[in-house]
Amino acid sequence: MKKLIYLLIICGLLVANTTGCSSKAEPGVLKAVNGNAATFSESTNKAPEQSKEELYQDIFVTLLDPYIKKAINDYYGQFLTTLPNYSPEYVEVIDITRPMGYRSFSFKIKLQVKPYVGPHVDIGMDQLTIRVGSGEGEAKVERFEHY
């Protein structure tokens, strides 16, 4: 009887392993967040650790921090009694474009942010579009989308 139970457990583990059952989702597998068709994981590319790209993304997030905080506080301030926080290491740069063309110094930066309250209780997923350099080096949040 014990041999049969062990055999069933081993077969079950083999089937689960070969069919791809795991707790880790592959990018692009999740197709909807709160009923929305678009997800960020399909379009983001996480920069390799210790790379120049990761360094530049961290610089962007650090410089844009006041604008990110203000946009988050403006949105969630309507609903929460405690203003949320976010962790810069969990901000993903989704896209950076030059809307005025090659070698122009106006940029449109799309970010994905996961704000939280208290001891890191996630309260949503947000996408911010920030235009930088449209005037004299200023930055402005053009769009805030909550998912």
CA distances from 116 to 24, 105, 145 (A): 22, 33, 16
Alpha-carbon gap, residue 125 to 40, rounded angstroms: 9
Per-residue confidence (pLDDT) for residue 46, from 0 to 100: 74
Q: Where are the beta strands (DSSP E) in 57-115?
A: 92-97, 107-113
Per-residue confidence (pLDDT) for residue 3, from 0 to 100: 53
Per-residue confidence (pLDDT) for residue 28, from 0 to 100: 37
Residue 130 and residue 140 in contact, taking contact as beta carbons nearer than 8 Å: yes
pLDDT: which is higher, 92 or 20: 92
CA distances from 25 to 21, 29, 57, 90, 104 (A): 9, 6, 24, 17, 38
Q: Does pLDDT of 18 surpass 70?
A: no
Per-residue confidence (pLDDT) for residue 45, from 0 to 100: 62
What pLDDT, in 10s, does the model give residues 126-145?
999 999 986 667 899 999 99
Residue 116 and residue 96 in contact, taking contact as beta carbons nearer than 8 Å: no
What pLDDT, in 10s, does the model give residues 31-57?
333 443 333 344 456 778 889 999 998
Q: Which domains does the chain have, with CATH numbers?
A: 25-146 (3.10.450)
pLDDT: which is higher, 66 or 10: 66
What pLDDT, in 10s, does the model give residues 64-109?
999 999 999 999 999 999 999 999 989 999 999 999 999 888 999 9
Q: By C-alpha distance, which of 38, 29, 47 is closest to 145?
A: 38
